[in-house]
A = this chain, B = another copy of it.
């Protein structure tokens, strides 16, 4: 490590992965808790592909390689600096994802539950509005439908975290 690099202002083990493969939630939780006796609370968020009442056959997730990891990493580091976490893992998948399959996982571990809940919630709000991923819908009838539009609700969710 560069001796002149600033020390990060948090202690949490932060891990960010952008991958085509699925993930195993129990294994990701174990990575943050095994061999430790100081973790009191683990919150996970899993985002799954819905079929939108039968309308969709799949989602195609496009991403900006490099920036996707970097931007999620910046959000994760902000969360780790803001809450007293012991660990934070974020995994986002790309490529074709079928209804019922996993898209994204956040695991936040802390001594106490409030920090773990808030950090996971914060991560998802900013991941939605800042991480460079785009969803294209494939229709059940086989026709390729359009790109999912960003929701104003996601911007207002993210705005909840701005400190006054």
A111 contacts chain B at the CB level, 8 A cutoff = yes
A42 and B40 contacting across the interface, CB-CB below 8 Å: no
- For A134-164 the 0/1 string (1 means CB < 8 A from B) is 0000000000000000000000010000000
Q: Write the nearest CB–CB distance from A99 to chain B, whole angstroms.
A: 4
Asked if A157 contacts B45 (CB within 8 A), the reply is no
> Is B99's CB under 8 angstroms from A37's CB?
yes
Contacting A42 at CB < 8 Å: which of B48, B54, B117?
Answer: B48
Taking CB atoms, residues of chain B closer than 8 Å to A50 are 37-40, 111
A100 proximal to B (CB < 8 A)? yes
Instruction: Report B-chain residues with C-beta under 8 Å of the C-beta of A25.
Output: 25-26, 29, 44
Complexed CA–CA distance, A99 and B51 (Å): 41
Contact assessment for A46 and B38 in the assembled complex, using a CB-CB cutoff below 8 Å: no
- Are B42 and A46 in touch, CB under 8 angstroms? yes
In the assembled complex, which residues on chain B have CB atoms less than 8 Å from the CB atom of A114? 157
In chain A, positions 24-45 with a C-beta closer than 8 Å to chain B are 24-26, 29, 33-45
Interface residues of A (CB under 8 A from B): 24-26, 29, 33-51, 53-54, 99-100, 111, 113-114, 116-117, 120-121, 124, 157
